[in-house]
Amino acid sequence: MKLQTLAYQGSLSPPKLLRFGKHVVVQVAAPMNAFVPLSDPKNQRVLELLAAWRKVAPTIYVWDYTCNFENTVIPFGNYYAQALHIKEMVSLGIKGYYGEGCPHPGVDMIDLKTYVAARTAFDPSVRAACLLRNISRFRHSQAVPLRRQSY
């Protein structure tokens, strides 16, 4: 059995003296820039937080926000960056990922984001561009030639 706790807002910084055992999972919900890689200077604070948590807890999950919660019907085109975030998290030793997306079916192409995130988490070597191209061909095969002409 595992106990999961959330590092969020007031509890975002790791404790200075406490160390967590192997049965504790800390899920870090750090505000990150959703449109650039974690390695970008805009996400430096997130990387520092994850590194600090890795020193005190053996199992870290990340809670990511994948849509604009101020207006959930506006598209939030972070498909490529979300895939990069997952790849970078794997290389940092992060063991779990939760991407909280739009709560409304069909809005912000949430099914596409879920597909890209799941495939990237399953196989971090896969490229988001290939996934997007494949699902586009599968779902919109008759419109692909017309879409290519429009570019």
Give the DSSP H/E element, type plus range, for residue 79: helix 79-91
Number of helices and strands (H, E) in the chain? 5, 4
> Distance between CA atoms of 49 and 29, rounded to whole angstroms?
10
> Distance between CA atoms of 18 and 31, rounded to whole angstroms?
23
Strands (E) located in 1-151: 3-8, 24-29, 59-65, 96-100
Sketch the domain layout of the chain as residue ranges. Answer: 3-149
What are the pLDDT tens digits along the chain (151 aa)?
A: 999 999 999 999 999 999 999 999 999 999 999 999 999 999 999 999 999 999 999 999 999 988 888 888 888 888 889 999 999 999 999 999 998 888 777 777 777 888 888 899 889 899 988 888 887 777 766 666 655 554 4
Strand 24-29 relative to strand 96-100, pairing: unpaired
pTM: 0.83
- Residue-level pLDDT at 145: 65
As beta bridge partners, residue 97 has 62
